[in-house]
Amino acid sequence: MSSSYNPWLVLFSIGIAFFASYIALDLASRVIHSTGRAMVIWLIGGSFSMGVGIWAMHFIGMLAFHLPIPLAYDIPLTLASIIPAIAASAIALWTVRNGHQNAQTTFVAAIVIGSGISVMHYMGMAALKMQPSIEYTPLLTVLSVMIAIAASLAALKIIFTLNSNPGPKSITLLKAASAALMATAISGMHYTGMAAANFPINGMCRSSPQDLSSGWMAVLIGGGSLMLMLTTLLISIFDARLADQNSRMVKQFKEINSELLSYIKAIGQHAMITVTDKAGCILQANDKFCEISGFSQQALYGHDYRLVNSGTHSSLFFVELWATIVRGDIWRGEICNRAKDGTLYWVDTAIVPLKDSIGEIERYISVTIDITKRKQAEHELTRLGRVLDESSNEIYVFDAQTLHFTMVNAEAQRNLGYAIG
């Protein structure tokens, strides 16, 4: 029986094959880079969208085929032929998701995927219900299956290559070129399978009138599948951009966090840092604080600063300190503490309230610098000043460079008759 093809529907079927192939490459990236529930959603949704796209290409290719007799398709069998396409797509996405790139596993997966596509095609052909039955040329039939397997193998290799070598915007052109190659292979499988079909001269289609006819089916199936694939592609693009933004934000956060940690580490080498709760109980203390105070972090945890209180300052001093930080202001001052061994040490302290998102104080962070040596030097200078002032000798101290007086004791000022200040 003579046959012909509608060239516009042939081109339409190849276009859908290209679109389905491009989506397959795009979805593979989403499945690979997703985890948990998102990965499952992409795997299921991607398999359905890809499967419908591949099925639509084959079915529209069949609708492009014309015989000199009316043709119609059995609805249940036609719909059932989608299942192998979806299953083949799921296997493809699962294979690339798990990174099975060794030759043996990839080849086995390609055989399974190619077989699934072939089953879909020949189930669709069986939906014609021809009487007598369609006969197939064995060589072309085997060739069509081999093309399906080869196309599946090429698709897996391309997906592995694209996802192992992510690049800039040029990757889109490479993906489009790869999709064109895959579409050519998929279309080649279909039309080779159609060439393998031999329709008896006196054959007739046994599908009942209520079954779907081929007149409007191309627009319905083609338009529906294109809408489904386009929606999937747009969601994939949006998800990819969102994932890229999240990735950049995470990277920036890690860089900022690393920088802050380096600052904190540098500060911690010279300053004592503690974090307390709202009640003033110590939650964290750095090594410098432990080193100078003589207390371990375990001994400090849960205790307040009374553990290192030297008794040097009045209770009013600490009342004013707490009043400042409870208002949310920063307190700055000098405090004399007592180490575990009883040694007194002075610190220049800044206490900063840490607030939550609604402005409530959660914790306090204290950054202190050991100024014990400075305080000792100040005390020694004060003592020396008293000694000089109490001396009965005239004492003059001047700068060697400028010859300006820097200190003149009380006895010298009395003898000179005026104060030098």
| Whether 338 and 421 share a structural domain | no
Would you say residue 386 lies in a domain? no
Half-sphere exposure for 121 (CA within 13 Å, toward CB):
29
Position 210 pLDDT exceeds 50: no
| Whether 114 and 226 share a structural domain | yes
Position 51 pLDDT exceeds 70: yes
Would you say residue 352 lies in a domain? yes
Would you say residue 100 lies in a domain? yes
Query: In this predicted structure, what is the pLDDT of residue 396?
Result: 65
pLDDT digits (tens, 9 = 90+) for 118-160: 888 888 888 877 777 788 888 998 998 898 888 888 877 777 7
Reading the block at residue 126, the tokens are 């069986």
Would you say residue 282 lies in a domain? yes
0.85 exceeded by the pTM? no
Summarize the confidence of residues 415-421 as an average pLDDT: 64
| Whether 189 and 61 share a structural domain | yes
| Whether 90 and 189 share a structural domain | yes
Query: In this predicted structure, what is the pLDDT of residue 132?
Result: 78
Would you say residue 383 lies in a domain? no
| Whether 238 and 282 share a structural domain | no
Query: In this predicted structure, what is the pLDDT of residue 180?
Result: 80
Domains identified in the chain, total number? 3
Position 320 pLDDT exceeds 50: yes
| Whether 205 and 353 share a structural domain | no
| Whether 15 and 90 share a structural domain | yes
Q: Most confidently modeled of 74-78, 239-243, 363-367, 395-399?
A: 363-367
Could you tell me the CATH number of the domain that includes residue 317? 3.30.450.20
| Whether 128 and 229 share a structural domain | yes
Q: What is the distance between the alpha carbons of residues 376 and 370, in angstroms, rounded to a whole number?
A: 12
Is the Cβ–Cβ distance between 173 and 237 less than 8 Å? no
| Whether 321 and 216 share a structural domain | no
- Split at pLDDT 50, 70, 90, the class of 208 is low
Position 302 pLDDT exceeds 80: yes
| Whether 118 and 190 share a structural domain | yes
Summarize the confidence of residues 220-246 as an average pLDDT: 74
Would you say residue 259 lies in a domain? no
| Whether 244 and 114 share a structural domain | yes
Q: Which of 190, 223, 252 is the last residue of a domain?
A: 252
| Whether 202 and 339 share a structural domain | no
Mean pLDDT of the chain: 80
Q: Most confidently modeled of 95-109, 248-262, 364-378?
A: 364-378
pLDDT digits (tens, 9 = 90+) for 159-181: 777 666 655 544 667 777 777 87
Reading the block at residue 235, the tokens are 């969601």
Would you say residue 261 lies in a domain? no
Containing domain of residue 205, as a range?
4-252
The two beta strands, 4-5 and 197-198, are unpaired
Cβ burial 228-267 (10 Å sphere, 16+ → b, else e): bbeebbeebeebeeeeeeeeeeeeeeeeeeeeeeeeeeee
Would you say residue 380 lies in a domain? no
